[in-house]
Chains A and B, each alone.
Chain A
Amino acid sequence: EAGVAQSPRYKIIEKRQSVAFWCNPISGHATLYWYQQILGQGPKLLIQFQNNGVVDDSQLPKDRFSAERLKGVDSTLKIQPAKLEDSAVYLCASSLLALRDRSYEQYFGPGTRLTVT
């Protein structure tokens, strides 16, 4: 079974530039997550999708970050404009349908390491 795919694996940009990350979840997984992991810290949830709808984006800096999952499968996360503090690994994960009282393990992609100079 194919795992969660992400691209690119590495990206270096200058501050104020824009960048986009792509994620393809495990087939059949309705819930998709984007996390930001700053070096030395645990992953921080940015946004959670259920099929193509946003379930929770309360921790997404909406002035510069956006995400979409148009057909309920692939997803893209965009940063525009990037700041130095956005340097981190961006992780995508997927799971079976997460309900209010039922949570499942998440399967993670390899991540995209973003460096903002």
Chain B
Amino acid sequence: QLQLQESGPGLVKPSETLSLTCTVSGDSISRSSHYWGWIRQPPGKGLEWIGNTYYTGSTYCNPSLKSRVTISVDTSKNQFSLRLSSVTAADTAVYYCARHSWVGGNHYFDYWGQGTLVTVSS
């Protein structure tokens, strides 16, 4: 059974960089035809796609966040990571990692991590 687990600091200071890692078990990132992505949800609000990566290292990001987002993959550890720079209180959210199925205009997220709350505060 495929499982994803987010890890990283739960508190980040304003203007600093948020860093999260997603560990995948039950599937090999390097042998998968899927993408691996990040989605966030501010408290009490809806979902926002951040971006994704493929095992080759190629990445795709939400244009609204692209200037601040770095997504990378480590196939040796079966992990992928998110870095979001220059954070503000508006970046406070539950961050989810998920497996992203993407074929043409068909996008969906079929496996999700449990999510991790990241609070931006001094």
Q: Is the A/B pair a real complex?
A: no
- A residues in contact (CB < 8 Å) with B: none
